[in-house]
Amino acid sequence: MKVSVRGSILDLLAFQGLPKARRKHIAHAPATPLPVHPVNLLAQQLHPERLHMIVSAVRDETASTRTFRLMPDRSKGTPGLPYFRAGQYLSIKADVAGVRITRPYSISSAPFESLGKDGCYEITVRRVRDGFFSPVMLEAWRVGTRVQASGPLGWFYHEPLRDAHTIVGLAGGSGVTPFRSMAREIVHGGMDAELLLLYGSSDQGDIVFFDELNQLQAQAHDRFRVVHVLSCEGVSLPNCEQGFITAEIMRKHADVEHGSFFVCGPQAMYEFVAGELAKLNLPRLRLRREALGEIKDISRHPNFPAGALGQTFRLKVRIDGRQAEAPASASETVLVAMERAGLAPPSACRSGECGFCRSLLVSGDVFVVPDGDGRRAADRQLGFIHPCSSYPLTDLELRVPGEC
């Protein structure tokens, strides 16, 4: 094949003629706009900016845990629900006491259940002591409640090109929700993997999806197994372990040399399990952790500067062409300070990994949670932070992207 090079002069002359050629094409263009390309339409359906849904069913799982079924709210312009990967989450958007907030919740239903005209999502919520949003959901959400959320987000899913065929799931409390999604999808036949679930609970009455997990195990033909680990005294549940999910229990039930370990649970569980997993000397590639969410008590973090505790700083924010100032406590994230001020900053994971809240730190100093520092190296060098995982140590000035 011959390749001709016109030369720099001819290329410059051709570039000079571009405006004239463009005006000619515009003058002869049809009056009717071009239809949306099918690929673009599919992308919009799979990754919508906003989902409008309505609660169609409410089901109690335990005394403190409830499942909400969400259907598309077609009257608000959501014709159907996007397909997702088992293990992903929704970022629920709501107003609480006049404050615009977001909170991430794993989708506890399976991907196949989102398809078709009757497609739905389910999220399962546990009441959190001193929680800001979970009590509102459990007390106020009823059949007919309208809900806004992001599309499915997150990377806590099985990827055959990266992960082992066998998933070793380590769950605590309501952290079982993404594993329920995986187990349902495996039994349905839509996910080519095996799942061993080590599920820690305080007692038998606190186990979420207890009967359903047993049913799924019976239907799975060895592709899904569950081992309960109860921390209470006097365990009467047969074939379970007592105490916490230790390295010894992992070795007893799992093939630690070949499985991919997925961890989801409360902060206290992450802290304990991290030490146990270290005993297994796993390659980093075979360890995945669900977004932890905001740390409830940053004062317990060993690297947090003790001198900042109890202090309140001044936060200056530029957002959507506006300027605002607000107090910012060192014990709360910069994101929470902006939400309390009614600024509605964008956010999704609240764990430092998704980048939705990425903002430019113009001046000041923050403490960034090491485990929640999902910034790119270039962002760290250029002064960008994720407010959801950053705590103020001085007065701050930020430039923040648009509303959530």
Q: In the listed set 249, 268, 289, which residue is the last one of a domain according to the structure?
A: 289
Are 179 and 279 members of one domain?
Answer: yes
Residue 343 domain-assigned (yes or no): yes
Are 122 and 183 members of one domain?
Answer: no
Structural domain that includes position 264: 166-289
Q: How many CB atoms lie within 10 A of CB 112?
A: 16
CATH at 117 = 2.40.30.10
- Residue found by looking up tokens 């300070």 in the block: 337
pLDDT the model gives residue 3:
45
Indicate whether this model's pTM tops 0.85.
Answer: yes
Mean pLDDT, each 10-residue run in order, the chain (404 residues):
57 80 87 85 87 97 96 94 96 88 95 94 90 88 96 95 97 96 97 97 93 96 95 84 96 95 93 94 92 79 88 95 93 94 91 92 94 90 95 96 67
pLDDT the model gives residue 1:
44
Are 201 and 112 members of one domain?
Answer: no
Are 310 and 270 members of one domain?
Answer: no
Q: Measured between alpha carbons, how far is residue 55 from residues 145, 146, 387 in Å?
A: 5, 6, 31
Residue 22 domain-assigned (yes or no): no
Are 367 and 252 members of one domain?
Answer: no
Specify the number of domains making up the chain.
3
Residue 158 domain-assigned (yes or no): no
Distance CA 179, CA 165 (A): 15
Are 227 and 140 members of one domain?
Answer: no
Are 112 and 203 members of one domain?
Answer: no
pLDDT the model gives residue 292:
67
Q: Measured between alpha carbons, how far is residue 113 from residues 83, 120, 276, 302, 362 in Å?
A: 9, 6, 35, 43, 45
Is the CB of residue 374 less than 8 Å from the CB of residue 358? no
pLDDT the model gives residue 7:
63
CATH at 393 = 3.10.20.30
Are 260 and 185 members of one domain?
Answer: yes
Are 108 and 181 members of one domain?
Answer: no
CATH at 264 = 3.40.50.80
